Structure 1
Amino acid sequence: MLKIYPASSANQDQIQSIAEQTFIETFGPFNSKAHITEYVQQNLNLTKVAEEVADPRTHFFLAIDDGQVVGYLKVNEFGSQTENGLRDSLEIQRIYVLKKYHSKKVGAQLMKLAIQLATQFQVTFIWLGVWEYNERAIQFYEKFGFKRFGQHTFMMGDRPQTDWLMKRPMN
């Protein structure tokens, strides 16, 4: 049975492990091994995860099924978001689930939690960035009422990629 728990510094190893595994599963097939390895080493290492977990405006949640971490959610309040100027909002920076759990509604439960948090924080909208070619994720977000409102460049090694910015109003 799936359970979702708030994560803390005591869970840094679990967060780092699931972050690396899900990132590689999601983007590995579309990028060079060197670029994926570089990204993981720079952005998903234990030191970086510890810094993120220590940020009081960043919140992590682990999805656990039968004792195994199968996915996670990371949301950022204003001041810790990856885009400037999006006041009165909550960012879903990461919502990742192991590939073999994609059909088990883990992502939907994590998304419902993110929306619940946005309601709790009384923000006007919730937003995220998604790779323009991740059609499965885009369709998932659209089912929850997200619509495209912009884009930004995401660097994968020396290769620029476009992320769509999508938001959902909270009223």
Structure 2
Amino acid sequence: MIEIIKADAEHSQLIAELAQQTFFESHGHSASKDDINNFILKTYNAEAIRKEFENKQVAYHLIYDNEILAGFSKIELQCPNINISEKNITKLDRIYLLEAFQGKQLGVKLLDFNIALSKKQHQNGIWLVVWTENNKAVNFYKKMGFKIAGAYDFQISETHTNPNHVMYLEYN
């Protein structure tokens, strides 16, 4: 049984731990070990996550597979991007599944859930950034209808960036 629940600030520690693991699984080889570890500790800690809940445009959701936490997502409503001319769009800021749960269609369910939530808020589309070398993710988003709209250098450390695609799905 798949269940998606809205997270709140009380879930900050849980989200931080999950984010650390999933980011390492998907990006751990994209920079030096020190750069990755420093980025994870700075970005994915309970206090940083808790602070994000202060923004009313941000929503975190947790996905469970048979009552086991499998992943999470974060969207931000009304978040423009310089590569996209459309107004009233949502940023899919994070969508991560633990490796053990990939290939079970949970990513599709979580993405569809976030798209439906975005549409309910009268948004015109949803965008994200994805590491260009993460072929599995790039192909997943293309299959889901996203198109490459631009480029973005994702800052891992002061000395290291990863090239990312900005991808956009316009709602019909």
- Fold shared, TM-score > 0.5 on shorter chain: yes
Return the offset for 1:83. Answer: 4.3
CA distance in 2, matches of 1:164, 1:103: 22
Aligned partner of 1:56 in structure 2 is: 56
CA distance in 2, matches of 1:30, 1:49: 23
Q: 1:146 to 1:56 in 2, by over 3 A?
A: same
CA distance in 2, matches of 1:169, 1:138: 17
Aligned partner of 1:44 in structure 2 is: 44
Amino acid at match of 1:8: D
Unaligned runs of 5+ in 2: none
1:110 and 2:110 are equivalent in the alignment: yes
Residue by residue, what CA displacement relative to the aligned partner does 1:70-128 show, whole Å, maximum 9, x if unpaired? 100100012xx484686310110001000111111111111101110121011111110
Identity within the alignment, %: 27
What value does the CA root-mean-square deviation take over the aligned residues?
1.6
- Bigger helix share: 1
Amino acid at match of 1:99: E
TM-score for the superposition, normalised by structure 2: 0.92
Return the offset for 1:24. Answer: 0.7
On the 8 A contact 1:118/1:170 being kept in 2, the answer is: no
CA distance in 2, matches of 1:12, 1:82: 25
Aligned partner of 1:99 in structure 2 is: 99
Unaligned runs of 5+ in 1: none
Amino acid at match of 2:97: V
Return the offset for 1:49. Answer: 0.3
CA distance in 2, matches of 1:138, 1:160: 18
State how many pairs are aligned. Answer: 169
TM-score for the superposition, normalised by structure 1: 0.93
Residue by residue, what CA displacement relative to the aligned partner does 1:33-87 show, whole Å, maximum 9, x if unpaired? 1011110111111110001122211000001123321100100012xx4846863
CA distance in 2, matches of 1:48, 1:4: 22
* TM alignment of 1:1-171, pairs within 5 A: 1-78=1-78, 81=79, 83=81, 87-157=87-157, 158-171=159-172
Amino acid at match of 2:31: N
On the 8 A contact 1:77/1:90 being kept in 2, the answer is: yes
Q: 1:170 to 1:5 in 2, by over 3 A?
A: same
